[in-house]
Every structure is written in structure tokens, then in C-alpha cells.
Amino acid sequence: MSWDVVEVLQKLVSIPSVNPMGRNVSGDEYLEENVTNQLESWFEELGVPWVRQEIEPRRSNILARIDGDTPPQEGGKILVLEAHQDTVPVEGMTIDPFDPAIREGRMFGRGSCDIKGGMASMLVNFARCVEDRPAGMPTLVMACSVNEEYGFSGAQQMAALWEEEDWLPQVPDAVLVAEPTLLDVVVAHKGTARWHCHTHGKAAHSSQPELGVSAIYRMGHVLQAFEKYAAEVVGTLGHHPLVGVPTISVGLIEGGISVNTIPDKCQIEIDRRVLPGNDPLVAYQHAVDHILEQLRSDAPEGIEGIEFDPPYHSKPGLADECNGDFADLLSGVIRDCGHPGNQIGVSYGTDAYAFSSRKIPTVVFGPGSIDQAHTVDEWVEIEQLKEATRIIERLILAHADGQNTA
């Protein structure tokens, strides 16, 4: 096939791989299996070793490998290029999410920016290394994970391929994680804790509200407590020079069965962003304790009928402690390609912690802006896509010889 990066991205965008995001939904557009099958077909065509690692039914990581000039056992390096296969849902989009149309120098479609654009840049370089075998090439791994958008479970289990199995002979020397960074180098990002809070009441007919207890009214007190906690407390709990202060928000609310029934149940979903190096579970407990104490003081019914679930998602952030040399190398390559190559921090999460937590130098890089990710008309600039491809090409050789240019 043609390994033109635009054509590769068009193919990837045209294959739906929507993450259900915990919802009870079904359909051909959901889960990553079809993208995984396409990747397998490409790796077969290239004739490289590959492995599928099932995480859940119809959800498998897939990795392929090119052995470098010097085997890792003899001192050769291993560089991993990692990108996730899933996208966020498509409800509310103003464009056809799976038609990779090109207009005014942009490619549109779900995943074009987050993160099939970055995946395409990596895949093209992987394929070119297979075909051209550039001198000094390190052992190169193309790693495509599942379920990044709702839990990072795919990347977290990849390490078994070198820790428990022998698919890789040793721990990688560095990991480049694809995300839209406008060609800058992300060296730190926040972590996340997410959980549900429930309020319970007593159902009754709306014509006799005095016979019931509204779970929605009770949740109103909880929401006021969260709003005050977010405004007055969370931002004082720490500061990181690259990512700022921690945050908390309530993103979803659900309650009631009909307008003429006093609701006996209500639920909200909370998102807490923690600083690099902080424990999301500690942040969760601080929030719960503070909210309950505030409700005891302020709300008429105190904490009656209020229940907090344990976090269903908890992942620390990317700390900029062991990625300095790799970040400097990539920044140098980017500058040589005519771009700033700034080392930055961001507030969103990525697969990076799965690797950095094992003391593997890990940074985040890719074409496009987070401002276009998850949007109703998601797009990526074609020029950024091509530049990311050129930068990764140079990085591969720079990583092999330890220089800042290729």
C-alpha cells in the first residue's frame, strides 16, 4: 500500500472505534476491534512480528516490532511509539464523523486530531523503517492501545509483554505517546479521580409532595457544597509550575423517573484533576470528607441519604522527573525542524503514566491542538500532520545515536 500519511489517516478515520465511555450501548461503531483488524492487516503486509493482547472482548492492544541494528541484549535501544485506537462518542457532531473530508488544509472526522493523526504519523515512520532499514535504527515498537478515553486500561497492561512475557527482551528505553500537542513536548500532566455520588429520598406522587423526600433537592445541597469546595479549597491544595493548580468539577447529573413523581434517587459524577506526583485516592478522600463536613454544618438534613462510591477511575499524572534527557532530545529534533519544541505541561490525561510509573522516560507529542479534540467538527491541519511525521522520522535516528539531530 501507499504509506502516505494523509491516506493512512483517511483510512483510520473512516473506521469507527468509538469508546462507549461506560454506557450500555451497542453497534458497529463501538469498540476498537475494526481498527485493530486493520492494523493487523498492515503489520502482516509489512511482514513484521506482531502480537494482539486482549483486554476485553473486541478490545485488544496490538503491537508490532522492527529489530534494530544492535540487539537490545548487546546494548541496542528500544523506542516505543504509542497511540490509542479509541475515540470519544460522536453524538452532536456537525460533520459526518467517519468521512475524512479535506477542506482548507484540514482533515475532518472523529479521531482526526485525537489521536489517529498522531497514530498515522507513527505508522508511516514504522513502515518506512521496515522498507528502508535506516542505518543505526533502534529496535522500534508500534504500540496501539485500547480504552484510553475511559480508563487507560490498555496501556496499563502493555507492560506485561516485557515484564511477564518475552515478546520484548527488556524494558523499553523510551516511550513516545501520541496526543495533540501542537508539536510541543508534554513532559507533565495531571492525573484523575472520577466517582459517583448518590442521594436517596422517598418517592411520592407529585400532587402530594409532602409524603415524599426529593433526592434531587438533597442533591442540590451536595452540588452547592461541591461548588464552594471547587471555588475556595481545591485551588489552594498545591501548585505545579507546568500544570497549575488541581481542579474538581461535576459533569453529569441524573435523577427522577417522571415530572409527576417525587424522585427517590439522584446521581452525579465528579471529576477531580490532581497534580503530578499526587495520589488521586487521597484527593478523592479529601473531597468526600470536606463535602460531608460542610453538609453537616450547612444543610438542614446534614448527610442523611448521601452516598459516595469509591472511584471507578483513578490514575496519577505524568511527572517530569525521569524524562528530561528524552524530552531534551525530542525538543532538539523539533527545533531543527523549525518549530519551538517547547517543553510544557497540560491539564488532560494520557497513557503516559502507564510507562512513566515504571521509570521509563516518557513524553507526549503529536500534531493538532487539544482545542480541536472531542469537538463537534473535529479536525487536524494537514501541515501539522506532515511535520509530525518528519519530526518522528528524525527522532527515531536521533534516539539511536544519542544526538539531537538526525
18-49 pLDDT, tens digit each: 999 989 999 999 999 999 999 999 999 999 99
Position 38: which residue type? Q
23 burial (CB, 10 Å; 0-12 / 13-18 / 19+) is exposed
| Residue of 243, 223, 402, 376 lying closest to 316 (CA atoms) | 243
Which pLDDT value is given to residue 406? 34
Alpha carbon 357 to chain centroid, angstroms: 15
Instruction: Give the number of C-alpha atoms closer than 13 A to the C-alpha of residue 194, restricted to the C-beta side.
Output: 17
pLDDT score recorded for residue 403: 45
% of the chain residues with pLDDT over 70: 98
In 3D space, the residue among 405, 392, 404, 307 whose CA is nearest the CA of residue 126 turns out to be: 392
DSSP per-residue letters across 14-72: HS--B--TT----STTBSSHHHHHHHHHHHHHHT--EEEEEEETTEEEEEEEE--SS-G
**What is the tens place of the pLDDT at every residue in 161-184?**
999 998 999 999 999 999 999 999
Q: Tell me the β-bridge partners of 252.
A: 269
Cis (ω within 30 of 0) for the bond into 370?
Answer: no
* Strands 78-84 and 139-145, bridge-based pairing: parallel
Among 381, 382, 346, residue whose Cα is nearest residue 363: 346
pLDDT, one tens digit for every residue, the chain (406 residues) = 789 999 999 999 999 999 999 899 999 999 999 999 999 999 999 999 999 999 999 999 999 999 999 999 898 999 999 999 999 999 999 999 999 999 999 999 999 999 999 999 999 999 999 999 999 899 999 999 999 999 899 999 999 999 999 899 999 999 999 999 999 999 999 999 999 999 999 999 999 999 999 999 999 999 999 999 999 999 999 999 999 999 999 999 999 999 999 999 999 999 999 999 999 999 999 999 999 999 999 866 778 899 999 999 999 999 998 899 999 999 999 999 999 999 999 999 999 999 999 999 999 999 999 999 999 999 999 999 999 999 999 999 998 754 433 3
Q: Inter-axis angle of helices 116-132 and 5-14, to 10 degrees? A: 130
pLDDT at 405: 36
Give me the pLDDT at residue 401, please.
59
Residues 6+ apart with CB under 8 A from 37: none
How far is the CA of 37 from the CAs of 28, 40, 113, 351, in angstroms? 14, 5, 21, 21
All domains of the chain, ordered by start, with CATH? 5-189+317-401 (3.40.630.10), 191-315 (3.30.70.360)
